[in-house]
Structure 1
Amino acid sequence: MYKVLLVSVGHFFDSTAEIPSIFKRAGCTVDIFCSEKSWLKSNKFHDNWIQASEEEESFKYELADYVKKNPDKYNWILLLDEFTLKLMNNFIGDDPFLFEKLLPITKIENREVLSSKIGMSRACSRYNITTPRFINYTEDISLDDIAKNLHFPILLKEDFSFSGLGIQHCANINDFQPCLDKVLNKKNLVLQEFIEGDDIGVEALFYEGQLVSYNCATILSYMGGKFSFTTRRTYYQDAALAKELKKLGESFGISGFGSIQYIYHKGRNLFYLIETDLRSNSWMPYSKFTGKDIADGVRQIISGKIIGDFSETTPLNARTEIAIFDRDIRRCMKYKDLKGFLRWAVNYKGYWKFIPFYDTKLFNRIFTKLYKDLFKIKY
């Protein structure tokens, strides 16, 4: 049986909780490598738990040692979150064995795309992938230099950040210094042109540079502002966007998950690549509701027969609306959104199927978290 090892160092990443279910639906044996408190452990869909330290310094040695002692135990090892990717990418150095076993790319020259925004932007330039114009901020750069190279508005993006954190929107040159003062980490700070257009969220599965499965979505609700994480989306297939994803996978040599963001500029008819995070996200397990289940992609990989047909474009009236229960409820609580609560109360568009009654372990942890959020109880 095809055997996978799913890995996460951060116990606070709830996005990992349902990822084991994807591989179980595909018929895999699923082992998890994480700490006792990890969300990765809060599900009934894993077969074995390998206990790991919560502390990053110990975790990286434990994982490397475990993989080296069990070189042929797993068909696939996937690092599921930003912190784990960054931790192991920095740790393994030039070790070819650990690179091949752990990192979700096949081209070692592209490892800078892992958890680095400036690295992704440079890689896009190398492979002629459409992305907003950018420069790397240094203390020596002048406002005149910025204005000559970029058109405002721009974004100031910390090199390592996630879920919309570490991003400042700068409307004009006069706002630059106040925005810069808000940046916590200026090392490898990216200054990137802000493209006006349609936000498109993408979840994709790649294998050895080949696109295997994907879903794309327009955004219906954000937890906070435009750069925060999302709570409701409408899913579809787009043949034109699939071509961009195929080029991205081949260029970077992606082998694993992709949590990707594009901006579509209608006037230019261009998809601008904004983010390429080579890890899982909370939306991936919901692919089972879109008709393009990522688990089917895993089955293709197991069989050795990747179909690779992405000619379908979903009509507007056939798109699928999906909401993440706990995220959207917390958004409704935060903004006192009565209409949002009613969607859940009346089972709007079948919303009840997104409540994780199918997994008692996950259900209990989610409701414990909601209860603590509601009554402001510390975790």
Structure 2
Amino acid sequence: MSLLHWSRALLAIALVLAGCKSNNPAPATATADASVAATTAPSKATAPAPAPATASEPALAYLKPTGPTQCEWVRQPLPSGAPTTVFTFDAACRRTEVSWSPNGKEGLVHSSPRGESERVWRVDFAAKTGKPLELTGLPDKTSIARVGFDAQGRVVMLLHASLEPEEGQGGEQFITFEGQRYPVAADDKEGYGVALAYRLEGADWKRFETKATGSYTRLDANKSIHDPGPSQTELPGQAASESAVRMLNAALSPKDKFGKGMALPTPGGTLYYRAMQEDADGTESPKGPVRWEQDGKLVELEGFTATADNTVIFQLRGDLLVINVLGGTPTAYAFDTRTKKNLVSVKDVGVPVTLWPEPARP
């Protein structure tokens, strides 16, 4: 989504991203060493160093715990490549979110540990360094709901404070915040409180929107934050045909035949899975097992393990498919949908693995 909030609701959705592989040359400013190498002709006895990977080449993004309170933000090129740590920070991965700037050159890390002060770092991917953002000047007794970049690359922070409404003489409800009254919208069913939007201008935070609401999603500013992969509130794909459901049931054990059969088209064929309702609000979650359709039959995915007890999360971009399997030891798999090859598996990560976003096109 950002590796945006992996909340209960988000576990029931899939991120389906459109994109393709880029063949652009590596940027000349990747590192100082690369700049020197570019101006020095290699000797006949020495092979030239390989060009660094470009930011637009496909890669995985994930958070890797290196201790109880230390985490690494990792980029791993695909189809194969050595993982690179772009930033190490002192916070638990499981309560951390990351986001990307539209040009793909910067990122943000937001840590929200329970009972401790929230922290935000601004990360330079080329330099592999991050600096903490100063949060002074933001109102007290608020929590950070979301932080990211807008289309112009400016840092935007959305805050929320839970406050009880008051009632006016005419029966209208409002929230009082810092001496100002803000009316509660009649159609707002998100609870009560005040949501605030701030933009970092130089070294100062400037507020540019305030609403009486229980959810930051009702802020207009929420739509202005750059999102490399718009999330879907529905299940990925569509309901499978009756014949496909029969074929799926035939491939599963009796205990796995519950739920609704779903079909997810990919460039290399259709992927089938089940959807199970787990929440009281009717939200359905993608569940294992998962099967490819190949030559009129359903086949297992190479090296892939997911049972009926596992929730799965899909992310599709071009030929690449990433599947996160939650529960037990969280594991992510990256597949080439055309060859059905399992490119890489990643285990024991802090939050679900995603594809590294491609820079936004101008």
TM-score category (smaller protein) = under 0.3
Bigger CA radius of gyration: 2
What is the TM-score when the length of structure 2 is the normalising length? Answer: 0.26
What is the TM-score when the length of structure 1 is the normalising length? Answer: 0.26
Normalized per residue, the structure richer in strand is 2
Normalized per residue, the structure richer in helix is 1
